[in-house]
Amino acid sequence: MLDWDHWLVKWRVDFLGREWNFVDIATFTSLAFLHFLSLLAPFYFTWTAFWLAIALYFISGVGVTLSFHRNLSHRSFKLPRWLEYFFAYCGVLSLQRSPLDWVSVHRSHHQFTDTVKDPHSPVRGLWFSHIGWTLDYRGRNGNGVRTVLFLHATFALNSVCHTWGHQAWETGDLSTNNWLIALLAHGEGWHNNHHAFQHSARHGLEWWQIDVTWYVIRFLELVGLATEVKLPTETQKKQRALSSKMIHEKKAAAD
């Protein structure tokens, strides 16, 4: 259960009670402007803008999930150089920093998962792991609606998917599978699956676990554009499942 008093204390420390520099202020101003812009959307609604936002949500979102995450961070598959650059450019449209910066932060996350060295560690509270880390320079080594929505869908992987959901595999951390975030983030919400099998190009391992990014990768593989696609073997799955079963049995015995 989430300790709201602890969350509020962390929010006061990591947001109100720390030093801010120009970069932090500029980042906060940009994010605040995007959120304000999204509130104006109902007053300037057109169907053209609506469908454009839907299209860009998918294009920029898959740019992050397919390119920044599964291709560049984990090398789950290979693409021709021109297609790798294309998807990376799509990811840049999400306004989630450069591919190099994104990959660096994400690899640090896996190296120090859920510890104080994790760039967006939930140990420092839900506020910090969700969005506060993006505003802290010390932690860094019309269509406003779709940008804000996907920003929070991605941020939720760091906060919600390390707080609420189901753990199918024993990973030694707090990662969970969350179906709602999986829908909003093109399959990335099967986060416990990802932490169990980091190099897998497929995150929705069950047939009912919707993973839009995997469907795109699978299509690219079928037409010969994606190669060396990595998936967990049955042996690896059994090892993780056995480990998970043993952990649950030990907890039950202790209770």
Domain ranges in the chain are: 14-254
Q: Does 71 have pLDDT greater than 80?
A: yes
Q: Does 47 have pLDDT greater than 60?
A: yes
Residue 168 has a pLDDT of 92
Q: Does 82 have pLDDT greater than 50?
A: yes
- The better pLDDT of the pair 56, 9 is held by 56
Contact assessment for residue 62 and residue 212, using Cβ atoms and an 8 Å cutoff: yes
Q: Does 198 have pLDDT greater than 60?
A: yes
Q: Does 24 have pLDDT greater than 90?
A: no
What would the mean pLDDT of 32-47 be, rounded to a whole number? 92
For residue 21, how far is the Cα from the chain centroid? 26
What mean pLDDT value characterizes the chain? 88
Phi and psi torsions of 93, nearest 5°: -65, -15
Which of the listed ranges 96-105, 214-223, 239-248 does the model predict with the highest average pLDDT?
214-223
Q: Does 7 have pLDDT greater than 60?
A: no
Residue 141 has a pLDDT of 40
Residue 1 has a pLDDT of 45
- The better pLDDT of the pair 131, 107 is held by 107
